[in-house]
Amino acid sequence: MVQEEQDFNKMWSDLGMDVAAHNSLLDAVGQMYETVFLTQKNRPKSTTYLDNFANNLHSGRIREMVDARKDGKTKKIIGSFCLYVPEEIVIAAGGIEVGLCAGANWNTDEAERYIPRNTCPLIKGFMGFKLGRVCPYIESADLVVGENTCDGKKKAYEQFSKMKPMYVMDVPHVRNNNTKEIWRQEIYRFAEKMEDETGQKITLESLSRAIKLVNDKRRALQRLSMTRAADPAPISGLDSLLTIQAAFMDDSARLTQAINALAAECEERAATGVGVKPHGAKRVLYTGTPMAVPNWKLFNIIEKCGGVVVGEECCTGSRYYKDLVPEDGKTVEEMLDAIADRYLNIHCAIFTPNQDRRDDVISMAHRLHVNGVIDCSLQFCTLYDMESFSMEEAVQKAGIPYMHISTDYSTEDEGQLKTRVEAFLEMI
Amino acid sequence: MVQEEQDFNKMWSDLGMDVAAHNSLLDAVGQMYETVFLTQKNRPKSTTYLDNFANNLHSGRIREMVDARKDGKTKKIIGSFCLYVPEEIVIAAGGIEVGLCAGANWNTDEAERYIPRNTCPLIKGFMGFKLGRVCPYIESADLVVGENTCDGKKKAYEQFSKMKPMYVMDVPHVRNNNTKEIWRQEIYRFAEKMEDETGQKITLESLSRAIKLVNDKRRALQRLSMTRAADPAPISGLDSLLTIQAAFMDDSARLTQAINALAAECEERAATGVGVKPHGAKRVLYTGTPMAVPNWKLFNIIEKCGGVVVGEECCTGSRYYKDLVPEDGKTVEEMLDAIADRYLNIHCAIFTPNQDRRDDVISMAHRLHVNGVIDCSLQFCTLYDMESFSMEEAVQKAGIPYMHISTDYSTEDEGQLKTRVEAFLEMI
């Protein structure tokens, strides 16, 4: 164990990380994990995979990726922050795509030398993690792929690219034939970039295999999510969220197997009425900004207050798994077109108009038998803050109770949030 | 005079405005105008045109537009909030394009029922003006044309369009061959929309005349701006700003004549060393967010503190007039293409990367012999807040003193701003 710790320290140091600072980060997140996850009652047994995943997040998983790159099994590690960066293409070109650290405050003072104080915590988070050299995903990545989604990220990438090799995808903000075509070309451009980066051609076979691999992961997540329609809910929102968070970082094939095991257990639980909360516990649908590891704050509050989150309409939720890429493409071009279509159909708040997102929320709310919707935006996220007004209108019109929350990564408002969430759960 | 007042009250009432509220708004803005503009010393005589313009802003000018529409001289009044909406096309289709009220707080509580508190004051302003029915430009407009520039406007338009007929242009955020083509098509789509709206075809002759008309206005503004390189500056920043603000609202041909008269007087003043401030007064270049009427706050502070603003790198400044549309197009298509090129070259902070804006600031700073740059963003304007970091770096690297300000439309921070500006002017 001591030997292993020393080995990891050496690995982090070789990656150019600030090992001492990183160790204190790990301690803090480890403690948080214990308090948030390990205090949960009646978890499915298969969540031991998740505990293991969390435990290896910055150590074993990084070792695995770095070794794979050393052995040539993986050509490049590609970091990203957003659902619009198609992992099928990265994998087909021989790379691994991983989500980067952005879920906690770190090195905020230093970050505010590059971006304004009034910046959403997710952006401030990734700047701080990079500046503090405490994210092994950022440090091990050969290239970071950004996307012009919100104003904040678009401009923050201009700063981030001074610190790390970056490539930025341009994402349309309206859906019409013109932007569909432009996005298709953007997907082609990205495929070429990945081939250049990894030195490996994307072939019919490699792309077909990659699509299948990622579809399998998405199918497993769909299967798991279906079980959450049961009352009592067979799995907590926290564990479900962690499963998706893992989908951005863990090995795809292994994780898919684990999710399927979890789903099978949850199906069994649903059939036999076993759950994480008593029957009748208030069921919440989450919608809003994504939640990167270790941002478990709101879900923890909801579930510690006796509610249960049974669905997530967000990037770390249904948007990640609800759509597959058709597997019957006959040429690389056909498959790339299918990928372009699939990714353009993500109902992100960057699009205008964005009625589809409201429709998704309402249909999920019905399908999952929720008692209320909690819509949360990270502070200073203009897009989700703005959309909360039309979301509230739509959800209430559908006869579903609604609450909007604006929060950040600090613990300061936890008391206040707890009071609001408790009141909401009582009311619904 | 009393008769005239009654007539205007009837006109406002016919436009569906809240006449009582509007009268109190006019009183407040009138008083502000007196305090800000009429206390200035040594103004060029030709600024009487500007006083007259300000006096007629909500009355005579509206009457003129409404009458022109009644007489069929103008087919439609088209409102807009942004430089990307090409007035040449509106004019060629027989319309008038006018900027809409967005420069003051109004009805903020009501506006916050539709958009978040953390919204930039410009957006909150136009929502509030509409909800309070106190902007005769909004109320007389047949159509409002928005543009997907920043996240805030993009989403606010979804709300605004529930209250007013709207058409939204999609503006690219990167410059490459693809987006150039998309933007060209967006310009064509807009031209068609204007033809539909006004029922008047855009012809070779009408477009050619419109281009000439708008170019003449821009040329006059260029000519005026050149005179501001002189020390002492022949005209204040306040009066220059008001001239550009007028360019969005006043009759083009008449205003062009007035600007040329002002420019001629300023040339004469520059030649004979007559200025609005003593020789050696600290010269400031403004860059940042646009300033809609009656947002004269920062310029007033700078100039009341003894400085003089000699240039504006912003949408209510050089970006409006620095580029012309070539007048030698042989077909409507050629001219529309030239318009597309001209408008895509506006160096707005929505673009990434946006080095051109920094280059513009530095070249203006040299050309206008400034002592320092004041970069101001309206509060919660992510794009300009974000860009202020790279702007500061670039300006300081060029050896020019720099100050960033974040402010809104309230008077609460005026004391603090005055202290900061005074210190900056002393230091430079």
**Pairwise CB contact (< 8 Å): B386 & A116:** yes
Q: Whole domain around residue B223: which residue ranges? A: 208-233+240-323+350-427
Distance CA B317, CA B284 (A): 14
Residue B302, in any domain of the structure:
yes
What are the chain B neighbours of A186 within 8 Å (beta carbons)?
Answer: 178
Residue B339: inside a domain: no
ipTM over 0.85: yes
Which residue matches tokens 């994480």? Answer: A276
- For residues B155 and B214, membership in a common domain is answered with no
Convert A214-264 into a string of H (helix), E (strand) and C (coil): HHHHHHHHHHHHHHCCCCCCCCCHHHHHHHHHHHCCCCHHHHHHHHHHHHH
Nearest to A79 by CA among A231, A248, A245, A264: A248
What pLDDT score was predicted for residue B91?
Answer: 98
Q: Mutation test of the interface with chain B: which of A382, A390, A396, A405, choosing the one with the most B Cβ atoms within 10 A?
A: A382
Considering the domain architecture, whether residues B248 and B293 belong to the same structural domain is answered as yes
Closest residue on chain B to A389 (Cα): B114
Which residues make beta-bridge pairs with B321? none
Amino acid at position A289, single letter: T
Helix axes B252-272, B48-56, angle to 10 degrees: 150
Angle of CA points B319, B320, B326, to nearest 5°: 100
Per-residue pLDDT of chain A (428 residues; tens, 9 = 90+): 578 878 999 999 999 999 999 999 999 999 999 999 999 999 999 999 999 999 999 999 999 999 999 999 999 999 999 999 999 999 999 999 999 999 999 999 999 999 999 999 999 999 999 999 999 999 999 999 999 999 999 999 999 999 999 999 999 999 999 999 999 999 999 999 999 999 999 999 999 999 999 999 999 999 999 999 999 999 999 999 999 999 999 999 999 999 999 999 999 999 999 999 999 999 999 999 999 999 999 999 999 999 999 999 999 999 999 999 999 999 999 999 999 999 999 999 999 999 999 999 999 999 999 999 999 999 999 999 999 999 999 999 999 999 999 999 999 999 999 999 999 999 99
Cα B17 from chain centre: 23
Shared domain for B371 and B319, answered yes or no, is yes
Residues B194, B249 within the same domain: no
C-alpha distance from residue B190 to each of B214, B332, B350 (Å): 18, 14, 20
Task: Tell whether B328 is covered by a domain.
Answer: no
Q: Please, what is the angle between helix B177-198 and helix A177-198, to 10°?
A: 170
Contacts of B198 (CB under 8 A, 6+ apart): B75, B76, B93, B94, B95
Are B145 and B292 found together in one domain?
A: no
- CB–CB of B148 and A380 under 8 A? no
Which of B156, B159, B386 is closest, CB to CB, to A152?
Answer: B386
Structural tokens at position B267: 């040339």
CA–CA gap between residue B51 and residue B73 (Å, rounded)? 26
**B298 in a domain, yes or no?**
yes
Q: B248 lies in a domain?
A: yes
Q: Are residues B194 and B212 in the same domain?
A: no
B21 and B120 share a domain? Answer: yes
Nearest CA in chain A to B169: A174
CATH code assigned at B105: 3.40.50.11890
Considering the domain architecture, whether residues B306 and B273 belong to the same structural domain is answered as yes
| B179 to A182: CB separation less than 8 angstroms, yes or no | yes
Residue B280 belongs to some domain of the structure: yes
Q: How many domains does chain B have?
A: 2
The verdict on residue B342 lying in a domain is: no
Tell me: do B160 and B258 sit in the same domain. no
Distances (CA, A) of B288 to A359, B205, B320: 38, 37, 14
Residue B152 lies in a domain: yes
**Residue B175 sits in the same domain as residue B257:** no
Nearest residue of chain A to residue B385 (CA atoms): A116
Picking from B155, B389, B406, the nearest residue to A386 by CB comes out as B155
CB contact under 8 A, A173 and B148: yes
Between the CA of residue A1 and those of A7, A8, A11, B325, B342, what are the distances in Å?
Answer: 10, 11, 15, 71, 65
Residue B299 in tokens? 């310029």
Q: Which of B200, B223, B251 is the last residue of a domain?
A: B200
Cβ neighbours of B155 in A, within 8 Å: 349, 352, 382-383, 386-387
Of the candidates A258, A341, A339, A244, the residue with the CA atom closest to the CA atom of residue A286: A244
User: B317 and B403 share a domain?
Assistant: yes
Per-residue pLDDT reduced to its tens digit, A237-283: 999 999 999 999 999 999 999 999 999 999 999 999 999 999 999 99
Question: Which of B181, B200, B219 is the endpoint of a domain?
Answer: B200
pTM: predicted TM-score of the whole model, two decimal places: 0.97
A328: phi then psi, degrees, rounded to nearest 5 = -100, 20
Instruction: For the beta carbon of residue B264, count every other beta carbon within 10 angstroms.
Output: 15
Beta carbons of A118 and B382 less than 8 Å apart: yes
Output the domain CATH number for residue B292. Answer: 3.40.50.11900
Same domain flag for B168 and B273: no
Per-residue pLDDT tens over the stretch B23-65: 999 999 999 999 999 999 999 999 999 999 999 999 999 999 9
